[in-house]
């Protein structure tokens, strides 16, 4: 075919090349459009499938209703203009029931705390272990103005804007989780940093402030340390934490090595309270 084309007169050969180029360009546009269309649909479908599958692990949850309440918070909106209250319908639909004496809060201890609650789930629950946070843990999503689709790429990052889709979600569910706290509450904080109670953290800026003294009896801080701990329970930031607690909420703190927590979590015969 190439050799035959080369025998054509120069003018005809040039015209054919132009036609072939136009056709190839159109085909490329069509292919890209189809791929993008499939990708956009896949974003919504994949996120919803993951959301619903995780939701169904919590018996009694109306997962389609919860998804609908979640989706309406951000679809069609500027991804940097989603206020925390946009997720109020999601919180209401999730209908989270508090588990007194079992709620675990954390700051800068993500890996150790989730490893612990995964193995000791009958003892403690983080927000990521409940229907509030489990359905979207580790995921990214957003909407776009004028669009009815859900996007999972090209969404603003956590620090790109204050009211971005994901940040507002976690701020709202963290507030709901703290509102549900009752009885003895536990928090794992990082003893290997200079400021374990960081005023900019969600724990400090949202959760602690919402502990209700009529419901919360005590806050037990587990300061997770390595062998060469940077801080201890006398740390100045922990003094600030005590000041933030409402009158009537008792405060306790204990330094515990990460190795001890891991060893304890791996031993089913050790009771939860004996881990620190």
Query: For 254-263, what is each residue's pLDDT tens digit?
Result: 999 999 999 9
Stretch among 14-28, 72-86, 140-154, 209-223 having the lowest mean pLDDT? 14-28
Q: Is 210 or 99 the better-scoring residue by pLDDT? A: 210
- Structure tokens given for 135: 């359905």
Is it the case that residue 178 has pLDDT exceeding 60? yes
What's the Rg (C-alpha) of the chain? 26
Is it the case that residue 113 has pLDDT exceeding 60? yes
Quote the CA–CA distance of 124 and 3 in Å, as a whole number: 75
Query: Given pLDDT bands bounded at 50, 70 and 90, which one contains residue 160?
Result: very high
- Structure tokens given for 63: 């997962």
Q: pLDDT (tens digit, 9 = 90+) per residue, 192-205?
A: 999 999 999 999 99
**Span 9-29, mean pLDDT?**
53
Is it the case that residue 180 has pLDDT exceeding 80? yes
**Span 199-219, mean pLDDT?**
97
The domain defined by 2-275 carries CATH number 1.20.82.10? yes
**pLDDT score at 1:** 44
Is it the case that residue 135 has pLDDT exceeding 80? yes
- The fraction of the chain above a pLDDT of 70, given in percent, is 84
Quote the CA–CA distance of 245 and 195 in Å, as a whole number: 17
Query: Given pLDDT bands bounded at 50, 70 and 90, which one contains residue 272?
Result: confident
Chain centroid to CA 177: 13
**pLDDT score at 7:** 44
**pLDDT score at 269:** 82
Residue 160, SS3? Answer: coil
Contact predicate 265/116, CB 8 Å: yes
Q: State the pTM of this model.
A: 0.82
**pLDDT score at 14:** 57
Residue 120, SS3? Answer: coil
**pLDDT score at 40:** 41
Q: What is the mean pLDDT of the chain?
A: 87
**pLDDT score at 17:** 54
Stretch among 8-17, 80-89, 157-166, 230-239 having the lowest mean pLDDT? 8-17
**pLDDT score at 77:** 97
Domain boundaries, the chain: 2-275
């Amino acid at each position: 075919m190439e050799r035959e084309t080369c025998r054509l007169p120069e003018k005809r050969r040039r015209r054919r090349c132009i036609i072939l180029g136009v056709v190839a360009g159109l085909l490329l546009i069509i292919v890209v459009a189809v791929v993008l269309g499939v990708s956009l649909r896949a974003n919504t479908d994949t996120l919803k499938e993951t959301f619903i599958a995780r939701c169904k692990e919590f018996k009694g949850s109306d997962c389609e209703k919860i998804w609908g309440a979640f989706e309406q918070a951000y679809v069609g909106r500027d991804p940097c203009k989603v206020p925390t209250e946009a997720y109020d319908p999601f919180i209401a639909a999730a209908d989270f029931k508090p588990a007194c004496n079992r709620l675990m809060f954390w700051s800068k201890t993500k890996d150790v705390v989730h490893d612990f609650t995964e193995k000791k789930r009958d003892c403690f629950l983080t927000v990521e272990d409940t229907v509030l946070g489990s359905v979207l843990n580790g995921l990214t999503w957003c909407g776009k103005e004028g669009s009815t689709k859900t996007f999972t790429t090209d969404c603003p990052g956590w620090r790109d804007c204050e009211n971005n889709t994901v940040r507002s979600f976690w701020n709202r569910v963290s507030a709901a989780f703290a509102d549900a706290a009752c009885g003895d509450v536990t928090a794992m904080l990082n003893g290997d940093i200079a400021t374990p109670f960081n005023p900019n953290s969600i724990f400090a800026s949202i959760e602690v402030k919402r502990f209700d003294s009529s419901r919360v009896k005590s806050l037990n801080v587990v300061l997770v340390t390595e062998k060469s701990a940077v801080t201890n329970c006398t740390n100045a930031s922990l003094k600030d934490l005590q000041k933030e607690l409402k009158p009537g909420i008792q405060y306790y703190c204990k330094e515990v090595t990460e190795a001890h927590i891991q060893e304890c979590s791996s031993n089913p015969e050790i009771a939860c309270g004996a881990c620190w």
